[in-house]
């Protein structure tokens, strides 16, 4: 069932587990994620960003697909706009039925980030849609932004940001970055900062750049208060790997069976990920096993 992201993250925050938010750019990916969630009795967040919607995951096509797939399962599914920045696109997504929008003002000067995020929050909340903001800046792994301490989130500033913007979840910069890290590198996360952020904010926190973080980091991040983990690069790689394997085993494999192989590969990847971040087994017959649904 399609639900607000706020409801999913409220349960995760209360019971200290992480929920996967997968950038799902076609039917196969959305179906892989949602069916994996059903089999794992786990919530899931399906998301795409403005660039992905422009290139391939066209909003008019993908929103009905996600709504239809979500309606077929018992577990909670949210639909999130990832890294929104353009006001018109965000408004279109809210009108189309996204159950959360992210406004990413993390590259703006602080007061401008506060101002714009607060406007988006007021608009979205009035339409029953929740909001994720970002403070600090999660940059690119290719630029080694994960090592740039200047970009990390300041807990005191974060408290001011949340109280003035009313966001429902906050993306924090604690040492991850988007995209693939250089070969062999596993990022070093600032768990002390995460602990301070959680203690100060007591709200759902989001980790962007989940790919390549390593199982141990992910588990520690969830234990430290991360409730939503964004995953794109690793999920796309799982689909690509499955296609390559199918081709290697049988070079004459046709297009349909390549798509099916990719879907199966992504589904398995998602199921494994859910076990690592603790969301497996949280919902039975649509109800949180801990009984704390909003």
Catalytic residues, by residue number, are 82
Q: How far apart are CA 150 and CA 57, in angstroms?
A: 34
- The contacts of residue 167 (CB under 8 Å, 6+ apart) are 117, 121, 131, 132, 133, 161
Toward ligand 13P, which CB reaches closer, 208 or 282?
208
DSSP state of 132: E
From 122, 203, 210, select the one nearest 174 (Cα to Cα).
210
Smaller CB separation from ligand 13P, 160 or 215: 215
> Shortest Cβ distance from residue 158 to ligand 13P (Å)?
18
Q: Which is nearer to ligand 13P, 208 or 271 (CB)?
A: 208
Shortest distance in whole angstroms from residue 50 CB to ligand 13P: 11
Residue 35 Cα distances to 39, 76, 260, 268, angstroms = 6, 11, 14, 10
Contact 274, 280 (CB under 8 A): yes
Nearest distance in Å: CB 178, ligand 13P: 4
Do the beta carbons of residue 178 and residue 143 sit within 8 Å? no
Binding site residues, ligand 13P, CB under 6 A: 23, 82-83, 178-179, 208-211, 230-234
Instruction: Pick the closer one to ligand 13P by CB: 209 or 225.
Output: 209
Q: Hey, what are 219's tokens?
A: 């588990």
Q: How far is the CB of 144 from ligand 13P (least distance, A)?
A: 14
CB contact set of 51 (below 8 Å; sequence gap of 6+): none
Please tell me the distance from the alpha carbon of residue 203 to that of residue 223, in angstroms, as a whole number: 14
């Amino acid at each position: 069932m399609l639900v607000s992201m706020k409801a999913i993250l409220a349960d995760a925050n209360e019971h200290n587990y992480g929920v996967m938010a997968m950038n799902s750019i076609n039917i196969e990916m959305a179906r892989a994620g949602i069916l994996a969630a059903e089999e794992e009795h786990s919530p899931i967040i399906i998301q795409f960003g403005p660039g992905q919607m422009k290139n391939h995951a066209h909003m008019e096509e993908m929103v009905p697909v996600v709504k239809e797939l979500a309606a077929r399962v018992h577990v909670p599914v949210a639909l999130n706009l990832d890294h929104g920045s353009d006001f018109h696109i965000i408004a279109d997504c809210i009108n189309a039925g996204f159950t959360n929008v992210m406004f990413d003002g993390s590259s703006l000067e602080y007061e401008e980030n506060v101002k714009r995020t607060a406007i988006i929050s007021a608009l979205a909340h009035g339409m029953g849609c929740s909001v994720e903001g970002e403070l600090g800046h999660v940059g690119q792994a290719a630029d080694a932004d994960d090592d740039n301490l200047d970009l990390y989130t300041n807990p005191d500033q974060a408290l001011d940001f949340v109280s003035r913007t009313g966001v429902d979840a906050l993306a924090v910069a604690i040492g991850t970055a988007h995209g693939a890290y250089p070969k062999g590198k596993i990022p070093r996360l600032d768990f002390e900062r995460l602990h301070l952020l959680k203690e100060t904010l007591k709200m759902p926190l989001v980790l962007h750049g989940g790919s390549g973080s390593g199982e141990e980091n992910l588990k520690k991040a969830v234990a430290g208060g991360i409730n939503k983990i964004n995953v794109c690069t690793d999920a796309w790689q799982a689909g690509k790997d499955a296609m390559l394997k199918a081709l290697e085993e049988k070079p004459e494999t046709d297009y349909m069976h390549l798509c099916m192989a990719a879907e199966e590969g992504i589904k398995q990847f998602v199921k494994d990920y859910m076990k690592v971040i603790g969301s497996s087994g949280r919902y039975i017959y649509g109800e949180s096993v801990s009984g704390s649904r909003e």
